[in-house]
Amino acid sequence: MVEPHFHYWPGICNVPLPNYLMGYWQSERYFADVAQTIRTDFTFRQPMIGRNHELVEEIGAVNAVSLHVRRGDYANNLRTKATHGVCPLDYYEAAIRYIAERVEAPHYFVFSDDMEWVRANLRIQLPCSYVDHNQGAESYNDMRLMSLCKHHIIANSSFSWWGAWLNPCDDKVVVAPKNWFANSNDTKDLLPFGWATL
């Protein structure tokens, strides 16, 4: 079954089983009624080690805010850039201000596939830690660490979407980009209720 469009498709309930689904299927509406089961199923099994274990302790000791900057192919591949686009610097600056107005003593944990660009361009005047050691097969640990943060500034990326969604806190503040795509995909069902867009 090929996803007929990007936003939620109620016909999913009538798809015969078994079936192979192709597409994004990126809406909490597909699984909101089993959210706790999904969070349990997506629990990371292996213990954190080394620097990641240290970061778990650091994240737990502060009002941690994950901040994800997705660049990579979004910035360097013309076709991908035409579809997804890159979140502009002013989005991150506005999101940092938004969080700072709502979260007491935030400490930002910055994740990116282009940390050199982040360090050169994004100025954070509040406490922050750059998480740049999880590479290649270890990259999933960035999502794992994001999910342990109390609040989130996400990119137009399913990676940080899931990092924020896997955080089970009801009072989390999540900031997402208003323009998720550079094209005309309908994103009305993309973000869970209560997530802010800038």
Q: What Rg do the C-alpha atoms of the chain give, in angstroms?
A: 17
**CATH number, domain 48-197, options 2.60.40.2130, 1.20.1250.20, 3.10.20.600, 3.40.50.11350:** 3.40.50.11350
Structure tokens at 52: 């990641």
* Per-residue confidence in pLDDT tens, the chain, 198 aa: 999 999 999 999 999 999 999 999 999 999 999 999 999 999 888 899 999 999 999 999 999 999 999 998 888 888 888 989 999 999 999 999 999 999 999 999 999 999 999 999 999 999 999 999 999 999 999 999 999 999 999 999 999 999 999 999 999 999 999 999 998 889 999 999 999 999
Please confirm whether the linkage preceding 177 is cis (ω < 30° from 0): no
Q: Are 153 and 96 in contact (CB under 8 A)?
A: yes
Domain ranges of the chain: 48-197
